[in-house]
Structures are given as structure tokens and as C-alpha cells.
Structure 1
Amino acid sequence: MYKLNMATIRKTKVGKYTYWQIVESKRVNGKPRSVVLAHLGTAEQLLYRLKEGPFEKKIRSAAHGAVELFYKTALMLELPRIFEQSFSVQKRDGLKVGQSLLLAALHRAISPGSKRSFASWAKQTTLPEFSMFNPAKLDSQHFWDQMDTVTTKELAAAEKAITLKLIKEGLFSPRLLFYDLTNFFTYIDSGNERSSLTRRGRNKQKRHDLRQFGLAQAVTKDFLIPVFSEVYEGNITDKERFIPFLTRLREKLAELHISLEEVTLVFDKGSNTKNNFAALDTKKIPYVASLSPSYHQELLEIPLSRYRKVKVGDHEILCYRTCYEVWGKERALVLYLSEKLRQGQIQGLTQALEKKYSLLNELKQKLNNPRARKKQIENVQNKVAEILKGERGPELIKVSIQDKGSGRFDIEWELDKEAYRRVTEDIFGKKVLVTSQDGWSDQEIIAVYNGQSNIERVFKHLKNSYHNAVQPQYHWTDQKIRVHTFICLIGLLLSQVLWKKAKDLGYTISVESLIDMLSQVRKADIITVTGMKGKPAKESKLEEMEPELKEMYEELLNTF
């Protein structure tokens, strides 16, 4: 009888190495046995045979550009040293507290996620290679335990040391500081009594149903580098927080041997009260701020014919300067026309008027419904007043109520075209600035205040779900919330410093685009098999990328 014996390939392990063999099943002394026909060697040696010569094989690819440059930025600012000196030397999973906080900051800046998601993110990057840690060990418990050791005093010490380093590197000029506040909603349960920071208040993301905490910040004019921040209770208004902030800012600047009187503070109308301006006067703190136009209607009535043209940057702007009594004191005021603001106000007014027209039309249909109940004229007047309330409704929409008798009424309305023209042409678009810097020109005052939009961009960064996000934050105690916010602000600091480097090189992209582009720079581990004997050569090299990205990456790398 003819027997067909089929040869097969078999894997065998010797120590930690895997080899391949060609084997055939035969009977030896009447028993089936696998007989080795040929030793093929390792998988790489087998491929060498098949390709009849040397070859390369990629065995791993990881995101590299963003984590590398962020880490180098941290080294430039000496954050590892500062953190080691500021925080506990407790070690967990081979890392000190400061090292864990820095890694968490890189995570929040580049690809925000929960502490639980850190390990899976880090494994996809080259961060573990040059930071020397095992990502598998860094679970959420690791970060919670490390964060537990951090005190408010240690956070203040770290912030002070970082600010001194920024001054040394020329990244912080105290001449101008922009101040603003925001808040972040949380999902902390109403019954949680461990957190006194999170309170219900007016949330700027319209989540009034949730507990929130506030964040006050002062940033530099150039590149939005945060130099002072403070977490506070969520039920405190912007106006209430202003004087405590001035006190803390004075203390912080004194530690840096900077007098608050040397700094011009720029803030918006949300912090305006008589007491707050009295505090500025008493402490002799220079300021540039905006006033709410609605409280100074007589200023808005000043015709544009009395304004003069000034050049601010590349734009010509109409402005008017005067002295005016504000909260019991003569102050320098600058009114100027912003066409961008005017167009936005007109768009908002148009939407508001359309909504009021729709409500008036609904009321008209109800009044003309034969089945409608009889009404008193006072009821109709009250309903009309309710519809017109706000958005200049009573001023712009003229409504006439017609009495048809027997408790029946009808309404007609029209837009007051002259009032509409006066509002949109003579009032809209005007901003009112107040300053103690009497010696500054109109151009300087306007240019400085326009920089206030910078800090608003900072808060947008902190609420960007893709980079530098404070939310979501899965912490339920005040101490953890403060440490978590500190981590996020360190990530923001690194982002802004790296963005400044890119700007200095001539790249005009947003900080978010910069992070996204650098995240595309990947490094691959390559093994090269050159023969049947010896271990394959292993090396790491950057993967191919667009020439523009490669040029930017290399130029940024050369700045360190």
C-alpha cells in the first residue's frame, strides 16, 4: 500500500527564543514520531531565505513628535527639578510624585483623558522610553495616591518656582497682566459634603443645574502664558472675587520682588463695582478696563461726528476721549467703534426681533380666535409688554391694541425705522474703556484692552475637549480638584511655551493645530536581517512624513 507522509512547519521555543522547523511524521519502532527534516531558524532568518537577501521589518510604531517636544519643553523650564523640590519624594511604581504629575500634565495637554486611560495612551507613544516608566503600572489608583500627598502649600511653592524660571527665560514681563475668571461644572452629587469648592452658581456653559468651581487667572500679553491662578468656590461672583484676587496677586508679586504698582491690570466689565474701583484707587494699581455701555447711555449718545480716527495695528478706528465721573471720581475714558462688535450686535438684534414678531403673531391669532375667552385690555397690554421686554423691544417695536368691543381685541405692530437706525448706527459697536493711565495715547489704551481677548482664548483652551481640557474631571474632593487643575494648567503652560517657539520660527498656526501636527510625527522600531547568523540589528527611525511637517519638527527640535 502507498503511504503519503506530509511535511509540516512547527514552532519550537528554546529559552526565550522561538525557532521554526520542517518536520514529518514517521513511525519509529512502530510508534508515530515527529522527525526534523530541516531547521529553518527564527522567523527573520526564514524571511531572509525567502527574500534571498537582507530585509527590514517594522515591529512597532508609536506617536513621537508631540510627547518628545513637550517633554523637552518641560526640561527647558526645569519642571522635573522644580517638582522634585516642591513635592513629596514618595515613590509609587518607581515614580516620585512630581514625575507622576508631569506625566499627567503631558496627557492632559496632548490627548486629554481620565487617569484610567493614561496607560493605554502612553503605550501608543514613545513617552515611556525617555521618561523611563512602565505604563502598565500607571493606573488610576497610581495617580490618586500620588495626588493625595500634594498640599496647597506645595502647589504655591511650585507655582512660584515656575514663575521665577519664566522670568529668567524672558517669558514673563510683568508690565501687563490680563485678568479674567471662568467656571467648570462637575458631576459631584448634591449630597457630597466633602467638597466645599463646588457650589451651584451661574455657570458660563449654561449648566446651572450642576455644582461648579471657579478659576481666576492672570496671563501675560504675549502667548497667554499663565503666571497666576486660583481655584475658588463656585457660588462666588466675578465681582466678589476681585478684591481677594488683588490681595493674592500683590502677595505673589511681592514674593517675586515685583510691585503691583508696576503692573497694569487689564480686565472686563464683569468685575466692575464701586468697591472694586475704590480698591484699585486705594492700592494705586494701574488699570485698563471696560464699562457696561448700558449704564452710561449719555456717552453712547455722543455722535460719531465728534470721534477721530486713530491707527491701532493695521486698522483705522474711530475713537473719542473724555474725562467723566465714574463711581465718584473723574476718570479717563476712551470710547471707540468696533465694526465687528456692531455687526454681531445687529445679528443678535435681528434674531431677537424675529422671535418677538413670531410671539406677537401667535398672540394675534389667539386674540382673533372665535373660541377665545373674553379679555380685559390690561391682560392684553401685559402680554404685549412681556413679549417686548428686553433686546430693545419697547424702543423698536410699536404695538397698537385695537378694542373691538365685547372683550375682543386685535393687535398691529411695526418697526420704528428711525429708532432702529439710531440704535444700529449711533449706538451699536461702541465700547467704553476706563483707565488710570492718563499719559497713554488713545491707540495704546485700545490696543492694550484688545489684548483682553487673549485670556478668553486661554479659557477656550481649557474647555477644549481635544487638548488642555480641565473637563471631564473625576475627582470629588477640594484637594483633588486643586491638584487636577494645577496639572491641567501645567499642560497649558507647556503648550503655550512650545507655541511661542513655533511663532518665533515664523509658523502662524493655532496651538491646537501645532499639537495635532506634531502628533503625526511617529517613530518606528526596525529590525534588519543581514544574514543567517547572529541577532538581527535593531534601530529606531522616524517614519516618512510631509516635508513641511518634517521641517517644522526639526526646526523646533533645534531650539532646545
Structure 2
Amino acid sequence: MADCECAQRGHDKAKRNDLRTVGLAMMVTPGFSIPLIHETYPGNRPDSKQFLTMMGNLKKRIRKISGKDVTITVVFDRGNNSKDNFDYLIDGEDMPFHYVGGLKKNQCETLFAVDKSQFTPLEGDGLEGQSTFRMSGFEAYGQKATAIVVDNPKLREGQLQGVMRDMANASNRLEELRKRLIARAEGDIRKGKAPTVESVTDSAKGMLSKEFMASVFWFKVTSRKGTVNGKEKGFPLLEFGTNTSILNGIIDRDLGKTVLFTDRGDLSDGKIVTSYRNAWYVEHGFRQMKDTSHLSVRPMFHWKDERIKVHIFNCVLAFRLCSLLRLELDKKGIQASTDVILDEMEKIKTVDTFFGNPDKPTKVQTFSKGSDMAEKIIGIYNLKEIYKVR
């Protein structure tokens, strides 16, 4: 692997640190996730650095196709945020791009604190029950642009489930620690290293390391005097509980909110929100290519950069063709995912039937019976005529 630059040890989201990682960057269309450009890069390169390379390639591609500079709005997630990236996007000397991105909470605490009475309801498909607060001239990454705070009750509900799950886990762990300390103080546990106030405090803090837990829970470590082998000794004990008012404040202030950042102040709040959420199509593309059923990039039995890049090129090409197939079928009234289409078509088999004289039989080829959707696809593309079957 010494001569391979693509496959590198890096941060693996699947926690497969035993494997080398190959980076894949893709730019896709909204709607059907049709790949426009892609690039293979070393797996230890941060996304924010690869972003500049992709934007440069996109500008070259646009100029080559259109012969001129055009107005483009790029949508990307928070993982690509950096001052260099924003500076490059708005560079007026090199075909500036508009952008719609997101901000992390620690970059816009004041926006999370805005009272809900100042929010305006959103209108449009998929935006029911949601509201926004807009602030012009908000500064981040050296840029002054429009910030949109989106309040989404469904997102809050999902996040609250996670918070409650973390609270239950933390409470169980703290209770187990409390019982162990009592057992040691009463002499039921004698083996092992004796805990101290400091060690118990550190353990409790570690149990509350998940987001919001240190704020929601309170704990107190006290010391009870006792005697061990005739010697007086202090035994640490633990008390803990939750603060309901703080939890309610977190639910109201922090949960269910997303902050977007864009230089397209001319767009409506609803358009900005839907544009940002269209980045989901990129994630859909990556999930499709990680799926081991169809179009799978993995496993990759190659050890040289050239072969790795050709392998990924073939996978992206297959994904592009399937995305275009979905687009065509959608226009014909067939709405289905790539996996469903391929699964249904895979069930169609070619059947050879022989008639007449056994020495010189007549062979007739037919397709096996497929689902209603598969039969429609066969008719749309005249597959029986192409493959000369009945």
C-alpha cells in the first residue's frame, strides 16, 4: 500500500478503523441524485479541504459546457465550513458562487436565544408547522450574510427522544455508582481500590458527558466517616437528581432548531430551507453506493490509485445511469427507488422452450412473468423486441 495515495487511515464514520478509507466527493442534482461530477481523494483528507478542489472543478466544468460564467448557488453541510471556502466561493475574479450552508450552535448562540414570538410561520409542502426567524448582516467566517433560524417541531420531538434516552442511561449509571458507594461504606464491598471524593466526582462527570446532561443533572459527593481495620476512614457517597426547569429551558431554547447561513437574501425563508434540505440527495447517493445489494463501491479489491479510481468511476457511472432511469420512469408514471426497480427487474428470467423434433427442436425464448411494474418497464423500453423474445 506504500504507493497508494487514495487508501489512507482516517476518520471512519462506520468505526472501521481496521480498514483504510478512500474519499469520494460527489455533486448531484436535487430530485433524483444524478451525479454531475465526482472525485476520488485520499481518505485522510478533511472534507473542508476537498471542498475547494471540487468547487474549482465545478467552475471549470461550467465554463467548458456553457462557455461563460453563470449564476450558481451551492448547498453544503456544516462539515465543509471554513473561512477559506467562503472566501473562494464569493471571489469576484473567479466566477463567484452563491451559497446556502448551516452554522453550528456555538457559532450563533444569540440566534438560539431568540424568543419564539418573533418567528414567522413557513408555508409550502413539507414545511407545515415550522417557523423561522431571519437576521440580515449576521457575521460568520468573515462573511456578513442572512441567517435563518428554523424551528421544526418534528425535529424537536426526535431530538427530545434522544435526550430522554441519554437521561435514562445517565440516571441508571449514577444510581449504580451510588449503590456501590453505599455498599462499600457499609462494608459489603471490601476489595478493589477504594474510591475518593475526587475519583467519584470524575466518574460522575464522565457519566454526564453527553450533550445537555451536565446541565440537566446535579450531583453532590459527600464523605461518611467509618472504620476499616481499626482505622478511621472517609467513605464517599453520591447524591444526584435532575432539574426540570433547566430541561424545559433546553427543550424550548435548543431543541428543534437549525440555523442556516446564505448570501441569497433575495430568496424567501421557505426557499432557503428547502434548498438546504435538498442536500439530503447527496446523502441518499452515498447511502445507495454503500448499499451492498446494488451499485456497491465496497468491497474494493484494488491496491493502486489508478485501479481504485477506475473502480469508483464505474460505480458512479452505474449510479448515474440508474438515476437517469428513475427520472425517465418517473415521467412515465412509475415512482420507485433504484433498489426496488433493480430488484423487480432482476426477477425477470429468460426462459428457453424447445418444440418439435428432438433432433432439431425449435427454440422459443420468453421472459418469465414479472410484477406489474416490471411488465410496464419491459413495455416502455421494448425489451422483448430488443432481446427478440416473445
Residues 218 and 379 of structure 1: CA distance in aligned 2, closer, same or farther (over 3 Å) = same
Q: Is the 8 A contact 1:308 1:320 kept in 2?
A: yes
Residue 495 of structure 1: CA displacement?
A: 0.9
Letter in 2 for 1:367: L
Partner of 2:330: 503
Instruction: Render the CA deviation track for 1:243-296: whole Å, top value 9, x for unaligned.
Output: 222222222222223656521111000011122222222252111111112332
Residue 378 of structure 1: CA displacement?
A: 2.7
Letter in 2 for 1:403: S
Letter in 2 for 1:342: R
1-structure distance, mates of 2:179, 2:200: 13
Letter in 2 for 1:257: S
2-structure distance, mates of 1:410, 1:259: 73
Letter in 1 for 2:201: Q
Select the residue among 439, 444, 454 that pairs with 2:281: 454
Does 2:261 match 1:434?
Answer: yes
Partner of 2:39: 230
Letter in 1 for 2:211: E
Residues 482 and 260 of structure 1: CA distance in aligned 2, closer, same or farther (over 3 Å) = farther
Partner of 1:215: 24
Letter in 2 for 1:479: E
Partner of 1:311: 123
Q: Is the 8 A contact 1:312 1:447 kept in 2?
A: no
2-structure distance, mates of 1:425, 1:354: 20
Letter in 1 for 2:134: R
1-structure distance, mates of 2:372, 2:272: 43
Partner of 2:134: 321
Letter in 2 for 1:401: V
Partner of 1:549: 374
1-structure distance, mates of 2:270, 2:244: 34
Partner of 1:364: 178
3-state SS of the aligned residue for 1:315? coil
3-state SS of the aligned residue for 1:332? strand
Q: Could you state the TM-score of these two structures normalised by the residue count of structure 2?
A: 0.88
Letter in 1 for 2:198: E
Instruction: Render the CA deviation track for 1:90-145: whole Å, top value 9, x for unaligned.
Output: xxxxxxxxxxxxxxxxxxxxxxxxxxxxxxxxxxxxxxxxxxxxxxxxxxxxxxxx
Q: How does 1:127-206 map to 2 (within 5 A)?
A: 192-206=1-15
Residue 314 of structure 1: CA displacement?
A: 4.4
Partner of 1:4: none
Select the residue among 306, 309, 318 that pairs with 1:482: 309
Instruction: Render the CA deviation track for 1:216-253: whole Å, top value 9, x for unaligned.
Output: 11011131110100000111111122222222222222
Residues 367 and 340 of structure 1: CA distance in aligned 2, closer, same or farther (over 3 Å) = same
2-structure distance, mates of 1:208, 1:360: 31
Q: Is the 8 A contact 2:326 2:335 kept in 1?
A: no
Does 2:198 match 1:378?
Answer: yes
Q: How does 1:24-423 map to 2 (within 5 A)?
A: 192-257=1-66, 261-283=70-92, 284-316=96-128, 317-323=130-136, 324-368=138-182, 369=184, 370=187, 371=190, 375-405=195-225, 406-423=233-250
Residue 486 of structure 1: CA displacement?
A: 0.3
3-state SS of the aligned residue for 1:262? coil
Residues 547 and 235 of structure 1: CA distance in aligned 2, closer, same or farther (over 3 Å) = closer
3-state SS of the aligned residue for 1:335? strand
Q: Is the 8 A contact 2:28 2:282 kept in 1?
A: yes
- 402-411 vs 303-312, which moves further: 402-411
Partner of 1:539: 364
Partner of 1:112: none
Partner of 2:229: none
Q: Is the 8 A contact 2:74 2:98 kept in 1?
A: yes
1-structure distance, mates of 2:370, 2:59: 49
Instruction: Considering Cα pairs closer than 8 Å and 6+ residues apart, tell me whether 1 or 2 has the greater RCO.
Output: 1
Partner of 1:89: none
Residue 374 of structure 1: CA displacement?
A: 5.0
Q: Is the 8 A contact 1:264 1:288 kept in 2?
A: yes
1-structure distance, mates of 2:301, 2:11: 21
Q: Could you state the TM-score of these two structures normalised by the residue count of structure 1?
A: 0.62
Moved over 6 A (4+): none
Residues 546 and 268 of structure 1: CA distance in aligned 2, closer, same or farther (over 3 Å) = closer
3-state SS of the aligned residue for 1:507? coil
Q: Is the 8 A contact 2:178 2:237 kept in 1?
A: yes
State the structure with more CA Rg: 1
2-structure distance, mates of 1:514, 1:336: 36
Residues 340 and 260 of structure 1: CA distance in aligned 2, closer, same or farther (over 3 Å) = farther
Residues 450 and 407 of structure 1: CA distance in aligned 2, closer, same or farther (over 3 Å) = same
Letter in 2 for 1:384: A
Partner of 2:230: none
Q: Is the 8 A contact 1:312 1:446 kept in 2?
A: no
Does 2:295 match 1:468?
Answer: yes
3-state SS of the aligned residue for 1:222? coil
Between the aligned residues of both structures, percent identity stands at 25
Q: Is the 8 A contact 1:261 1:286 kept in 2?
A: no
3-state SS of the aligned residue for 1:471? coil
What is the aligned length? 366
Q: Is the 8 A contact 1:214 1:234 kept in 2?
A: yes
3-state SS of the aligned residue for 1:473? coil
Q: Is the 8 A contact 1:333 1:434 kept in 2?
A: yes
Instruction: Give structure 2 stretches of 5+ with no counterpart.
Output: 226-232
3-state SS of the aligned residue for 2:101? strand
Instruction: Give structure 1 stretches of 5+ with no counterpart.
Output: 1-191
